[in-house]
A and B are shown apart, each in its own frame.
Chain A
Amino acid sequence: MPKRTDLKRILVIGSGPIVIGQACEFDYSGTQACKALKAEGLEVVLVNSNPATIMTDPEIADRTYVEPLTSEILESIIAREKPDAILPTVGGQTALNLAVQLGELGILKKYRVELIGASLDAIKIAEDRLLFRDAMTEIGIATPNSRYVKSMTEAFDAIEPIGFPIIIRPSFTLGGVGGGIAYNIEEFREIAQRGLSLSPVHEVLLEESVIGWKEFELEVMRDRADNFVVICSIENVDPMGVHTGDSITVAPALTLTDREYQRMRDIARRIIRRVGVETGGSNIQFAINPDDGRIVVIEMNPRVSRSSALASKATGFPIAKIAAKLALGYTLDEIPNDITRLTPASFEPTIDYIVVKVPRWAFEKFPRADRTLTTQMKSVGEVMAIGRTFKEAFMKAFRSLELGRGNMLFAKSGGRINATANVEAEDDDSALQRSLAVPNDQRIWSLFRAFERGWALEEIHRLTKIDRWFLTQFQQLVELRTQAMLVGLRGISPDLMRSLKRAGFGDWQIGSMLGADEEAVRAARVEQGLKPAYKRIDTCAAEFESFTPYLYGTYEKECEADPTPRQKVVILGSGPNRIGQGIEFDYCCVHAAFALREDGFETVMINCNPETVSTDYDTVDRLYFEPLSFEDVAAIIAREQEGGGDVSIVVQYGGQTPLNLALPLQRAGIRILGTSPDSIDLAEDRERFSKLLWDLGIPQAPSGTATSPEEAREVALKIGFPLVVRPSYVLGGRAMAIVYDMAALDRYMMTAVQASPERPVLIDKFLEDAVELDVDAVADATGAVVIGGIMEHIEEAGIHSGDSSCVVPPYRVAARHVEQIRDYTRRIARALNVIGLMNTQFAIKEDTIYVLEVNPRASRTVPYLSKATGVPLAKVAARVMVGRTLAQLGLTEDLQVSGVFVKTPVFPFVRFPGVDTILGPEMKSTGEVMGGAQTFGSAFAKAQLAAGVKLPSHGAVFISVSNHDKPAVVQIARDLKGLGFELVATRGTANFLRAHGIDAEIVFKVNEGRPHVGDEILNHRIQLVINTPLGRESFFDDKFVRRTAMMQQVPCITTLTGAAAAVYAIRALNTEGLTVRSLQEYHADLALSHKP
């Protein structure tokens, strides 16, 4: 069936900011879809609030709206653009929910817009669990016994027919937020209550638990001729009960007979037909009873998903791209398979390797969070690894996680706990038992510990319910380790070394098991002639020739890398997403690839994150899906060098991951492009850097370094409190803290970090109440420096820059300060011989500009700034790194913006009950949004809205601030009053306001009596909370207020600068309203103003 000719203009909805459960896999899918639509000659209009995406690059769509993803904003865009159709299936749950809203509000009908990819009915059947269950019953497919309830009374009535344990799933929440598993009435009461309040429709599904059953997923596609294919089967190593996003998963399914597998396939086909997904991809989840093969369907997602991104990377079949084409009316047999070229997309990929995905959590950022894994996803990223066997893929995946010593699955010796490993001490067997029986982020380590202690496989199976086949694999890994430890590195036979390497053990890991260093293991291995071969991912298990160098390493006979003699640039990616190192770095890597490919280099990507655009085989000339460890990277470069061409490497784009490899790679003789690793190190080395600034005459806050508590005390005595303390060489403010006294400093030095002479703790004077700024610049080899933008933080210094809202251009910084910052930036860039990107953070306090830190590498703000200015900074810098000058690239002046652009972070607090929402020097946000407008107020309001914060236009504001903040809150309170708000305050704050002539109603603190402020929030009497931390004594009161506000979706602002900005925003909302504008229009303004 040929393409539909009635569709000309398509609106694609993106997935918004990166949050837990919805990450950059939707940038990967969305970008593919937009490109596919454009290639088919359609006009693509895109809306996505997330600027850190490739899909919002202005050339991906014809018009790009970086605007909040709400039905009101979408209506404005639809009214303006009049699209023929909306593609809602590549933007995650966010886009599907929006599509449903647009349908229910009659907006689709009003503007005569069609949904393609999935109809409203199909979405509803798949999303509404009741409708889904009925549909399944109708076609004779079993689902777990379940019941919907809308109140606690109904909930209690449902307990008996279902029986404990009961799974509680709130309706219409993302990634299962608010859900859980109740084993008893107490847990049931708590989780059901929470679920009811979190569900936007106040409804939860209570479901029979199939915990412990085997869990499978099928990624399927269907076209409008009813052709149906399974792209990939995925088996969860963690059985039912753990969200698939938190499970270790493997592709293909490994423990099903053909009969069981085909039965599942038959069911999947019937489901997609019944649900009515006419074109596109779906994900269907199944549970299978391991004792009798009984199969039930858990859920179906009528859209591309995290799993479909994984399936695409695992098989080489680009699901989102094909789905977009199917939505246009093509059938599968009309679309060629990119990889084999000669065969069509109407087939089922078959793979001759094993793929393992392992999640990465960020619990270290949320020490109070519950680490139990349930039906609500908690991980922030994942890695995928490919090997010829499960063991190899599994071990490579763990190497890819970059957990430092935590990569090590094994105890150091004889089953003893390795204190430095990322494992909580489990000295006694009962703790180990508990850790095996109750899924948690550390369970896999516990599992290895149990095998090391000689626990029987059956016992571990009984506790974990993990299939015996997987347990056998783990047991074999432990046995291999034991064999190696018995003989030591010297006694290791070529056969054993080969077995270890073929089972995926890294050189470093073998060394650490045997008490040798990585280099010695490598030498022994090379002597035995063992080096990796690279195999191609070709969708067809070598049945046909493949034309796409999409490769993975393994220890096999034949290597298919086939390197070319071209001049090539290897770009090191950023590994798994984590808080502090996320999509922004992948965005930069992708831009480096695009720019250098355009300029005729052969681009080679190394990365292990399946969610990203960088691991799309379309992005680069050659893709190696490999761990970013020295061993793996060096081996790939050596192989590429065998092709004969010059090989150089980009390390400054992938965040800390490649930077950690820069020096070792340079030592190994590999040419690093751009800023030298020594300069990067200089900027990181506190003493060398202080000297440089001193020589330049640029102020820096007093600082020092310490490798012991004693040294730290000395530094503190010299520079005085408050202090910012943090370890060196980390991103995202990991373990960063502000300390106000000696006791806190001691506590920090003793417990929070492990300092060493190579990695000292950095201690800086904390500049309280300073204004903080981020500057991104590009410098070339001639010493030319172009400043991409000066971004002013809304929140004051002390809050991690990644967690601060910021705005370009600055809105309250004096012009002379701006000029001085430009001057400092240029001089620092030149002094560091920066070639490429450089990010600098400044603080202004009492008319002095201090440099906080300099990072001569890609930064988190590069994508946002690129969107605001219309200049792709990462591309420019990549070209500069290979020798072009800024002048050659036409960049002779600092960049400008037309309008005002605000970046606002989004946080995962809602997923971690009990965790405070307060901001500090340790980064906690997972993603960001951008709001653009002509005024600061409007731009800030949009950014807030995009981040899910609905600022009120009227109502009551609760104010409770620390004594320190009281003077400054007066103006804010006055402004709010002027905007017509009622003020409610705690006694202290209210008295202070009254003393300044502002009337405020007094409300009880939580511990003062009832009704207290929490009650007032719950009773919807308060529409906005302004609450700055009050210090340790009232800590719990504060936290309760903030969490209550968050759960009730009442905006809660925790800084005064944030509150002041909110005043601007509310004023703008009340006077200007919100209008929409595409990036292309903003950028066109600039082009006009640049003309002489």
Chain B
Amino acid sequence: MKAILALENGIWYEGEAAGAPGQTGGEVVFNTSMTGYQEILTDPSYAGQIVTMTAPEVGNYGVANADPESRGTQVAGFIVREESAIASNWRSQGTLRDYLVANNIVAISGIDTRALTRVLRSAGVMRGVIATGDADPSALIDRAQALPSMEGSDLVLGVTCERAFDWEPATSPQDEFAPTAVRRKRRNLRIAAYDYGMKWNILRRFNAYGCDVRVFPATAPASELLTAGPDGVFLSNGPGDPAVLSYAISSATHLIDADVPVFGICLGHQILSLAMGGDTYKLKFGHRGANHPVKELETGKVEITSQNHGFAVDPDSLPKDVKITHLNLYDGTVEGLRHTKQPVFCVQYHPEAAPGPHDADYLFNQFVEEMERRA
């Protein structure tokens, strides 16, 4: 079946339907990771976005039940150059297409994804619509233009958990294929985590480091998290514009003052920055991939990181008691911060990887050590 992708700037591409039939709209972004499409499809940070894979052959190894990063698919749509007809991997439990159809994700294949990426790179990410079957491109372009902008949208409420719960790992650490965590000898540490659209691998990594995590909805007041006296508080990744999340920013302000170790990733990092008095802004085309070099300023070491964000923290807006710890070597944007007085630190990128390299896994250890010092 035919499918069309139309962008708000009037460009459209004709390809083949590669998922569920129907129409979908969202912000069209690209991800340069060569592996991990299933993790990307299920990453809640992609809520409201149509993801283009720059790697051309997608679906080769199918999908596996152990690999999702949340309860189900999260992207608004999916774009690939070439869809694999079969799934070939010992862990595979089905083909990509069956997975997309089952999860009602509209997808398109066979289009010039490199040309699309170049459009997004030079003009910036933009709204777009995918429609399967016979559709009028100009009508789709109109629809794309009518979609709400990502800036100013609260997408967190759509992906956060409804009520607090304790994380019960469904898989053993063996399934993670990740480096063995240095297990703590004493009691398990307890972490209270805000779920703004949290990737499960963060939870899996905390678990591997011997932590018990209780997950709270994004709107829960800070006091609720602090009541049980956690060893540390975690602010997760998530979708959309951080600046509109006033409830989350105000909770974060409380946490910073609460003298408890706080760690944030991605959206959590942006929320903490805003709470500490900084500003955020939208990047032209964001960082989405598994190959971005990040320098840890203290040691000078370079990590290859997994990234997925469309907004960034403005370094000039940061107050004096916030130190920049990590910088992106591609474009010099802020990748990590630490409060100089409070035990608060955060990173823009994804130490939990999934997909991507495990170079930044030490950050989990760092958080655990921070908590242990006080426990």
| Interface residues in chain A, defined as those with a beta carbon under 8 Å from any beta carbon in chain B | 1, 225-230, 233, 252, 254-263, 265-266, 290-293, 331-333, 343-344, 346-354, 388-390, 467-469, 472, 476, 535, 540-545, 556-558, 560
Contact residues in A for B13 (Cβ distance below 8 Å): 557
Q: Report yes or no: A229 in contact with B304, Cβ–Cβ below 8 A.
A: yes
- Distance in angstroms from B67 CB to nearest chain A CB is 7
Known: A343-B329, A541-B32. A558 touches B291 (CB 8 A): no
Contact residues in A for B178 (Cβ distance below 8 Å): 259, 262-263, 266
Main secondary structure of the interface of A (DSSP, over half): loop
Select one of B30, B89, B114, B289 contacting A255, CB under 8 A: B89
Q: 26 pairs across A/B with beta carbons < 8 Å?
A: A225-B302, A226-B301, A254-B57, A255-B88, A257-B36, A258-B35, A258-B67, A258-B356, A259-B67, A259-B177, A262-B178, A263-B177, A263-B178, A332-B302, A333-B329, A344-B329, A346-B293, A347-B304, A348-B357, A467-B88, A472-B86, A535-B114, A540-B291, A541-B30, A541-B117, A556-B112
Known: A293-B91, A354-B56, A476-B85. A333 touches B302 (CB 8 A): yes
Select one of B117, B176, B302 contacting A259, CB under 8 A: B176
- Measured in the bound complex, the distance between the Cα atoms of B179 and A333 in whole Å is 25
Known: A227-B301, A347-B304, A349-B291. A542 touches B117 (CB 8 A): yes
Interface code B349-368, partner A: CB below 8 Å = 1, 0 otherwise? Answer: 00001111111000000000
Q: Report yes or no: B301 in contact with A352, Cβ–Cβ below 8 A.
A: no
Q: Report yes or no: A389 in contact with B82, Cβ–Cβ below 8 A.
A: yes
Q: Report yes or no: B56 in contact with A389, Cβ–Cβ below 8 A.
A: yes
Known: A258-B36, A259-B176, A350-B32. A468 touches B86 (CB 8 A): yes
Q: Report yes or no: A254 in contact with B36, Cβ–Cβ below 8 A.
A: no
Select one of A233, A331, A468, A556 contacting B114, CB under 8 A: A556
- Measured in the bound complex, the distance between the Cα atoms of B304 and A349 in whole Å is 11
Contact residues in A for B338 (Cβ distance below 8 Å): none
Contact residues in B for A468 (Cβ distance below 8 Å): 86, 88
- Which residues between 290 and 327 of chain B lie within 8 Å of chain A, taking CB atoms? 290-293, 295, 300-302, 304
Is B104 an interface position by the 8 A CB rule?
no
Q: Report yes or no: B90 in contact with A351, Cβ–Cβ below 8 A.
A: no
Contact residues in A for B39 (Cβ distance below 8 Å): 258
Select one of B55, B88, B91, B304 contacting A541, CB under 8 A: B55
Select one of B30, B61, B293, B357 contacting A333, CB under 8 A: B293
- Measured in the bound complex, the distance between the Cα atoms of B289 and A350 in whole Å is 9
- Measured in the bound complex, the distance between the Cα atoms of B175 and A542 in whole Å is 33
Q: Report yes or no: B115 in contact with A556, Cβ–Cβ below 8 A.
A: yes
Is B60 an interface position by the 8 A CB rule?
yes
Q: Report yes or no: A257 in contact with B301, Cβ–Cβ below 8 A.
A: no
Q: Report yes or no: B121 in contact with A469, Cβ–Cβ below 8 A.
A: no
Q: 4 extra interchain contacts, Cβ-Cβ under 8 A, other than A227-B302, A354-B57?
A: A255-B88, A257-B61, A259-B67, A262-B355
Q: Report yes or no: B55 in contact with A261, Cβ–Cβ below 8 A.
A: no
Contact residues in A for B188 (Cβ distance below 8 Å): none
CB-based A-B contact count at 8 angstroms: 174
Q: Report yes or no: A262 in contact with B34, Cβ–Cβ below 8 A.
A: no
Select one of A229, A349, A353, A543 contacting B56, CB under 8 A: A353
Known: A343-B329, A347-B330. A256 touches B61 (CB 8 A): yes
Is B81 an interface position by the 8 A CB rule?
yes
- Which residues between 57 and 79 of chain B lie within 8 Å of chain A, taking CB atoms? 57, 60-61, 64, 67
Is B118 an interface position by the 8 A CB rule?
yes
- Measured in the bound complex, the distance between the Cα atoms of B304 and A226 in whole Å is 12
Known: A347-B293, A469-B86. A262 touches B353 (CB 8 A): yes
Q: Report yes or no: B291 in contact with A388, Cβ–Cβ below 8 A.
A: no
Is B33 an interface position by the 8 A CB rule?
yes
- Measured in the bound complex, the distance between the Cα atoms of B115 and A259 in whole Å is 29
Contact residues in B for A265 (Cβ distance below 8 Å): 357-358
- Which residues between 221 and 242 of chain B lie within 8 Å of chain A, taking CB atoms? none
Contact residues in A for B111 (Cβ distance below 8 Å): 557
- Which residues between 256 and 293 of chain B lie within 8 Å of chain A, taking CB atoms? 289-293
Q: Report yes or no: B34 in contact with A257, Cβ–Cβ below 8 A.
A: no
Contact residues in A for B301 (Cβ distance below 8 Å): 225-227
- Distance in angstroms from B149 CB to nearest chain A CB is 23
Select one of A292, A350, A476 contacting B33, CB under 8 A: A350
Q: Report yes or no: A351 in contact with B34, Cβ–Cβ below 8 A.
A: yes
Q: Report yes or no: A542 in contact with B291, Cβ–Cβ below 8 A.
A: no
- Measured in the bound complex, the distance between the Cα atoms of B55 and A390 in whole Å is 12
Is B113 an interface position by the 8 A CB rule?
yes
Contact residues in A for B250 (Cβ distance below 8 Å): none
Q: Report yes or no: A333 in contact with B90, Cβ–Cβ below 8 A.
A: no
- Measured in the bound complex, the distance between the Cα atoms of B294 and A332 in whole Å is 12
Contact residues in A for B38 (Cβ distance below 8 Å): 257
Q: Report yes or no: A472 in contact with B304, Cβ–Cβ below 8 A.
A: no
Q: Report yes or no: B32 in contact with A293, Cβ–Cβ below 8 A.
A: no
Chain A, Cβ-Cβ closest to B53 = A352
Is B54 an interface position by the 8 A CB rule?
yes
| Interface residues in chain B, defined as those with a beta carbon under 8 Å from any beta carbon in chain A | 13, 30, 32-36, 38-39, 54-57, 60-61, 64, 67, 81-82, 84-86, 88-91, 111-115, 117-118, 121, 175-179, 289-293, 295, 300-302, 304, 329-330, 353-359
Known: A257-B67, A290-B90. A542 touches B356 (CB 8 A): no
- Distance in angstroms from B14 CB to nearest chain A CB is 10
- Measured in the bound complex, the distance between the Cα atoms of B57 and A351 in whole Å is 11
- Measured in the bound complex, the distance between the Cα atoms of B193 and A794 in whole Å is 82
Contact residues in A for B90 (Cβ distance below 8 Å): 290-293
Contact residues in A for B114 (Cβ distance below 8 Å): 352, 388, 535, 541-542, 556, 558
Known: A262-B177, A266-B179, A348-B304. A557 touches B117 (CB 8 A): no
- Distance in angstroms from A292 CB to nearest chain B CB is 6
- Distance in angstroms from A235 CB to nearest chain B CB is 10
Known: A255-B89, A389-B82, A541-B55. A557 touches B112 (CB 8 A): yes
Chain A, Cβ-Cβ closest to B85 = A472
Contact residues in A for B175 (Cβ distance below 8 Å): 259
Contact residues in A for B176 (Cβ distance below 8 Å): 259
Select one of B60, B86, B117 contacting A254, CB under 8 A: B60
- Measured in the bound complex, the distance between the Cα atoms of B118 and A560 in whole Å is 10
Contact residues in B for A389 (Cβ distance below 8 Å): 56-57, 81-82
- Distance in angstroms from B244 CB to nearest chain A CB is 27
Chain B, Cβ-Cβ closest to A476 = B85
Q: Report yes or no: A352 in contact with B55, Cβ–Cβ below 8 A.
A: yes
- Measured in the bound complex, the distance between the Cα atoms of B117 and A201 in whole Å is 55
- Measured in the bound complex, the distance between the Cα atoms of B88 and A259 in whole Å is 15
- Measured in the bound complex, the distance between the Cα atoms of B120 and A544 in whole Å is 11
- Measured in the bound complex, the distance between the Cα atoms of B300 and A226 in whole Å is 10
- Distance in angstroms from A782 CB to nearest chain B CB is 49
Ranked nearest first, the 4 interchain pairs of A and B with the lowest CB-CB distance are A258-B36, A558-B115, A258-B355, A541-B54
Contact residues in A for B289 (Cβ distance below 8 Å): 350, 541, 543
Contact residues in B for A347 (Cβ distance below 8 Å): 291-293, 304, 329-330
- Distance in angstroms from A132 CB to nearest chain B CB is 22
Contact residues in B for A476 (Cβ distance below 8 Å): 85
- Distance in angstroms from A602 CB to nearest chain B CB is 24
Q: Report yes or no: B32 in contact with A469, Cβ–Cβ below 8 A.
A: no
Contact residues in B for A292 (Cβ distance below 8 Å): 90
- Measured in the bound complex, the distance between the Cα atoms of B57 and A545 in whole Å is 23
Q: Report yes or no: A558 in contact with B118, Cβ–Cβ below 8 A.
A: yes
Chain A, Cβ-Cβ closest to B35 = A258
Chain B, Cβ-Cβ closest to A389 = B82
Contact residues in B for A388 (Cβ distance below 8 Å): 56, 81-82, 114
Q: Report yes or no: B54 in contact with A352, Cβ–Cβ below 8 A.
A: yes
- Distance in angstroms from A244 CB to nearest chain B CB is 20
Chain A, Cβ-Cβ closest to B63 = A257
Instruction: Kindly name the residue among A347, A351, A556 whose own CB sees the greatest number of chain B CB atoms within 10 A.
Output: A347
Chain B, Cβ-Cβ closest to A533 = B112
Chain B, Cβ-Cβ closest to A270 = B179
Select one of A350, A467, A545, A557 contacting B34, CB under 8 A: A350
- Measured in the bound complex, the distance between the Cα atoms of B118 and A352 in whole Å is 12
- Measured in the bound complex, the distance between the Cα atoms of B301 and A1 in whole Å is 10
- Measured in the bound complex, the distance between the Cα atoms of B292 and A293 in whole Å is 28
- Measured in the bound complex, the distance between the Cα atoms of B203 and A435 in whole Å is 50
